[in-house]
Amino acid sequence: MIDSVFETYDKFFDLSLDVKQKYTKDKGTSPNGWDAIERESTNIERPGDLKESFDVGAVNDENFKWPNADVPNFQSTVMSMYQYLKDLASRVLSVMAIGLKMEPDSFAFAYEKMGTSLGGTQLRYNYYPMVPDISKVKPGQIRCGEHTDYGGITLLIQDDVGGLEVSNIKFNGQFVPATPMKGTVLVNIADLMQRWTSDKLKSTVHRVLIPEVEIKRRVPRRSLVFFVDPDLDSLITCLDGSNKYPPITSGQWIKGKLYATYKY
């Protein structure tokens, strides 16, 4: 299934710019659509990220312009993957709850609206174009700037190009490669999970660099990301009752992060 999904998305990103622009994500916090290179700055101290992306969040939105006319079977292929990752996310959250000595369904209340306009979860495909001429890259610009993810957890499937690095708190925040392993899904802790668990689980700083080796710069990098973010109206409080972090809704937190990240 994964190979088929990657091939389908690649067909979209191979389209001409004017065709892709028909599916541009609307201004604001719309979870559906395409983002051009440099529209997102995950680290605001760096130039815009060297990547394109396509988000699918509100899958039940009747106004969502699926690119089926330009990429046949796009919707059906992507929706199969969305459902697969939705089921996997549910299992992962249950296992995490058990590990925290809570009931398996402790997080379920925050994901009842997944797939609607009130849900926070998004399926994203990141497409990092080849960089054949490194001299044209802006000073300080990389494929994806240093950041933490905003919501609960993130499920990541990456190709074999590499470039993802994770800050290791055991080594004073030094970045270490998250080397791709075929057939695996990487699970990343995000901001709201850190708040939920009163720092028992820490949100992970990560980035994507431009490869130093020229041969790897001459191929695109692709990744499939499932941001398992709580429903926008879910109130996130410390589950242990410690009040280490003040209550906040998922929507308040995520919208604040998005407006700081995107160029409109």
DSSP 51-107: -EEEEE--TT-TT---GGGTSTTHHHHHHHHHHHHHHHHHHHHHHHHHHTTS-TTTT
Integer angstrom CA distances of residue 137 from 48, 130, 199: 11, 11, 37
Predicted confidence at residue 173, as pLDDT, reads 82
| Average pLDDT taken over every residue of the chain | 93
Q: Does position 26 have pLDDT exceeding 90, yes or no? A: no
Name which residue leads in pLDDT, 138 or 257.
Answer: 138
Q: Does position 264 have pLDDT exceeding 70, yes or no? A: no
Closest-CA residue to 1 (of 87, 95, 94)? 87
User: Averaged over 48-70, what is the pLDDT?
Assistant: 92
Distance (Å, rounded) from C-alpha 225 to C-alpha 78?
12
pLDDT in tens, 160-212: 998 999 998 777 889 999 999 999 999 999 999 999 999 999 999 999 999 98
> Cβ distance 20 to 12 under 8 Å?
yes
Model confidence at 98, in pLDDT bands (50, 70, 90)? very high
> Cβ distance 141 to 151 under 8 Å?
no
Predicted confidence at residue 172, as pLDDT, reads 81
Q: What would the two tokens of residue 69 be?
A: 């006319």
Q: How many CB atoms lie within 10 A of CB 128?
A: 25
H or E segment to which residue 260 belongs: helix 250-261
Q: For the purposes of burial, counting CB atoms within 10 Å of the CB of 179, is it exposed (0-12), middle (13-18) or buried (19 or more)?
A: exposed
Distance (Å, rounded) from C-alpha 143 to C-alpha 38?
9
User: Averaged over 45-73, what is the pLDDT?
Assistant: 93
pLDDT in tens, 44-54: 999 999 999 99
3-state secondary structure of 226: strand
